[in-house]
A and B are shown apart, each in its own frame.
Chain A
Amino acid sequence: MGANIRTGLRAFKARLQYGLRKTARILHVTNTLVMLTLVWFLVMVPTGLLMQLFRQTRLDRRGNPRCAVNRHWRGHPIGPDEMKRPF
């Protein structure tokens, strides 16, 4: 299971890098900052605005409470398995 996920992630990373390289070639850009600016305007802003429109973000941009409860209850122990991964 873990090995499959790792293989999948590696394949996804390779595809993403290939896609980014190809986009960079097409747009004649190699500079990281230019690439990130494109990512910002082409991916982050539209996605963010859609998420805000459908109120799918966890953060309330204007600081207005989305819900009355500020505290998020957990109440279960953190198991050793959870310490084995960086997420």
Chain B
Amino acid sequence: MPPSTPGAHLHEQSPDDVNPGWILGISAYYHDSAAALVDRHGCIVAAAQQERFSRRKHDACFPAEAINYCLAEANIGLSAVSQIIFYDKPLLKFERLLETYLAFSPRGLRSFLQAMPVWIKEKLYLKACLRKELGCLSGIPVSRLPPLRFTEHHQSHAAAAFYPSPFQRAVVLCVDGVGEWATLSAWLGNGKELLPLWEQRFPHSLGLLYSAFTQYLGFRVNSGEYKMMGLAPYGKPSYADRILETLVQLDEDGSFRLNMRYFDFATGLSMTNARFHSFFGRSPRAPENAIEAFHQDIACSIQTVTEEIMFRLARTVSRETGENQLCLGGGVALNSVANGQLLRSGLFEHIWIQPAAGDAGSALGAALCGHYQLLGQPRTVMKNTMHNTYLGPACNASQTETQFLAQNARFQVMEEQELIARVAHFIAEGAVVGWIQGRAEFGPRALGNRSILADPRRADMQQTLNSKIKHRESFRPFAPVVVEERAAEIFDIDHPSPYMQFVVPIKKKYIDRLPAISHVDGSARLQTVNPSQNPRLHALLLAYSQRTGLPVLINTSFNRRGEPMVATAVQAYECFMATEMDYLVIDNLLLSKSDQPEPAKGREWEQTFEPD
């Protein structure tokens, strides 16, 4: 029997099942655990990553604190939730795991011994585990918990990419490491319907290919991919042809097969094997070792291959569906260089990318799947369903004052206009300012509510920020934020880019004027801001522009290396004191480093956070 359509099935469900109440989405147990809450109208009320609460980067634990936050934001208990949706299907994942071992046996014993105990003890009973955790969290007996449902991994990605988009119809492309079987998938979104068109399956994965090279270059898998992307412009794509000849068999339609003789991720404990290393003539770079021209060339080569694959895939879905609007989801959609290439290719009139495109965003996708696909609720297209990603916990000004007084922190309470004028002056004078306001961002990018802001005109600012504030590798570039109305004057872009998802060229006459945000190839990962999106940040940019003539600032996430982005005022204060930041602004409070008492914690952060 063919599967029924979402709407048709509603009539077969019990009244409890179709109650379009609150829907809680959860992603957990792989990386980037998160929770998201959607109300009865399909509005996203709250979404947060567990790492922001647990202070462990890419935390994979059950997102208890994130769930608690989402429920508290809506002022409801778990009993008010009508459906809980988990973001993938664990048993299908287990099937993939077993089939992989069978296909590659007798190799894979070590991986089998490492993976199986976790599956036997926990993951095979994930439904029971989740219900137990939810029961403990809420105090509700397990038998009376709301129903727990499961979406496919790529279904969650596709839902997160399409439903919050401003499109009634669009083709959706999801590209990531792996979920159950799918590694990349194409969908057709129309209203509330999301039709799966086709998929490519494990082990042939663009995400895993990129991660394999990430590990080879000495960065962490699922964490260091963006470092490799930042390293790429320093090199030449001298290995791209060899990669396409030997490691990846790429078809015209963008689908591809990996030559698994060179990779170890299917059954090994590492991503690449000795054959891979001898193919490139070098063993993997050890973390923290010097980066040489070879590593830069490798990074550039795999980035070139990734861009080519993404371009061909986009061209294929464009030809097959005839759609002129594209939504992107999955971890590979965070590759802002490839996104920028797609934008400039002109294949699509509009491109919308889920700001939390990785697995954290899947919690949101799962909840939206519940609303539109399980409950069949109507969808109204809105321009800003994501609320500019400001979906996380807020900093409460009065509470912050109390906390700061308890910590003996010295601060001034200021009027907004005066505060903005002074901060613009500080930045123009070369100060580094921590900038906290309102609700935290959901997703990996700081978009002006949990940001560190600095002067992009100073050539030494990149080094200063990297070495004194962020404590990270010197090659890594910083992103600019610009007022939307002047973005096209300074950058080669004719679309708004509110979520910092596109790397675009800087116009030639501005490259020298903005050295701290100009990458080695004259590009930048741009965020545009308008007054409705973030009025205070927009006002600050204008105030800075009045002094300098440039409505552009450096905008980097408020954290140190290996630390999740700060969520609360206390975390921000600790980060402020542990680094060489000059000023901290929390809503209307201004703190100057020179006014503060000696930091009680000194440089304890070095032990607290493991380098990423």
Binding site for B on A (CB under 8 A): 32-33, 36-37, 40, 44-45, 47-49, 51-52, 57-63, 65, 70-87
Answer whether A74 and B251 are a contact pair too, CB < 8 Å, given A44-B102, A49-B105, A59-B266. Answer: no
Answer whether A61 and B260 are a contact pair too, CB < 8 Å, given A80-B373, A83-B150. Answer: yes
Answer whether A49 and B149 are a contact pair too, CB < 8 Å, given A70-B200, A71-B255. Answer: no
A-side contacts of B151, CB under 8 Å: 78, 83
B137 to chain A, nearest CB (A): 20
CB–CB B5/A77 < 8 A: yes
Among A40, A47, A80, A87, point to the contact of B89 (Cβ < 8 A): A87
Among B92, B99, B116, B255, point to the contact of A70 (Cβ < 8 A): B255
Among B10, B101, B198, B374, point to the contact of A83 (Cβ < 8 A): B374
A-side contacts of B425, CB under 8 Å: none
CB–CB A71/B200 < 8 A: yes
Among B103, B109, B112, B196, point to the contact of A58 (Cβ < 8 A): B103
Question: Main secondary structure on chain B at its contact with chain A?
Answer: mixed
Counting chain B CB atoms within 10 Å of each CB, the highest count among A37, A57, A71, A79 belongs to A71
Answer whether A59 and B100 are a contact pair too, CB < 8 Å, given A80-B374, A85-B150. Answer: yes
Name which residue of chain B comes closest to A82, CB basis.
B3
CB–CB A57/B3 < 8 A: no
Among B91, B106, B113, B195, point to the contact of A77 (Cβ < 8 A): B195
B97 to chain A, nearest CB (A): 11
CB–CB A77/B6 < 8 A: yes
Bound form: Cα–Cα A86–B4 in Å:
18
CB–CB B260/A62 < 8 A: yes
Bound form: Cα–Cα A85–B90 in Å:
10
Bound form: Cα–Cα A46–B375 in Å:
46
CB–CB B199/A37 < 8 A: no
A15 to chain B, nearest CB (A): 16
Answer whether A79 and B5 are a contact pair too, CB < 8 Å, given A61-B260, A70-B200, A70-B256. Answer: yes
CB–CB B260/A60 < 8 A: yes
CB–CB A52/B201 < 8 A: no
Bound form: Cα–Cα A36–B121 in Å:
13
B-side contacts of A77, CB under 8 Å: 3, 5-6, 193-196
Name which residue of chain A comes closest to B109, CB basis.
A40
A20 to chain B, nearest CB (A): 10
Bound form: Cα–Cα A78–B372 in Å:
12
Among A45, A72, A73, A80, point to the contact of B105 (Cβ < 8 A): A45
Among B102, B259, B266, point to the contact of A47 (Cβ < 8 A): B102
Name which residue of chain B comes closest to A79, CB basis.
B3
Name which residue of chain A comes closest to B90, CB basis.
A86
CB–CB B112/A75 < 8 A: no
- Some 28 contacts from A to B, beta carbons below 8 A apart, are A36-B116, A40-B109, A48-B104, A49-B106, A52-B103, A52-B105, A57-B99, A62-B260, A70-B200, A71-B200, A74-B198, A74-B199, A76-B3, A76-B195, A77-B6, A77-B195, A77-B196, A79-B3, A79-B5, A83-B149, A84-B147, A84-B149, A84-B150, A85-B89, A85-B150, A86-B91, A86-B126, A86-B150
A-B CB proximity, top 10 nearest: A48-B105, A70-B255, A79-B3, A87-B91, A57-B103, A59-B103, A63-B260, A48-B102, A63-B259, A74-B196
B160 to chain A, nearest CB (A): 15
Bound form: Cα–Cα A83–B376 in Å:
13
Using a Cβ cutoff of 8 Å, how many contacts connect chains A and B? 150
Binding site for A on B (CB under 8 A): 2-6, 9-10, 13, 85-86, 89-92, 95, 99-106, 109, 112-113, 116-117, 120, 126-127, 147, 149-152, 155, 193-204, 249, 251, 253, 255-261, 266, 369-370, 373-376
Bound form: Cα–Cα A51–B147 in Å:
38
B-side contacts of A65, CB under 8 Å: 249, 257
A-side contacts of B373, CB under 8 Å: 78, 80, 83
Counting chain A CB atoms within 10 Å of each CB, the highest count among B105, B203, B204 belongs to B105
Bound form: Cα–Cα A72–B90 in Å:
21
Among B2, B149, B152, B202, point to the contact of A76 (Cβ < 8 A): B2
CB–CB B200/A72 < 8 A: yes
Bound form: Cα–Cα A58–B203 in Å:
10
CB–CB B112/A36 < 8 A: yes
CB–CB B104/A79 < 8 A: no
Bound form: Cα–Cα A51–B104 in Å:
10
Among A32, A59, A75, point to the contact of B117 (Cβ < 8 A): A32
A-side contacts of B374, CB under 8 Å: 80, 83
CB–CB A44/B199 < 8 A: no
Bound form: Cα–Cα A76–B198 in Å:
10
Bound form: Cα–Cα A79–B102 in Å:
31
B469 to chain A, nearest CB (A): 44
A9 to chain B, nearest CB (A): 12
B-side contacts of A72, CB under 8 Å: 198-201
Bound form: Cα–Cα A59–B107 in Å:
14
Bound form: Cα–Cα A19–B196 in Å:
42
A-side contacts of B155, CB under 8 Å: 78
Bound form: Cα–Cα A81–B147 in Å:
13
Bound form: Cα–Cα A73–B196 in Å:
8
A-side contacts of B4, CB under 8 Å: 79-81
CB–CB A83/B113 < 8 A: no
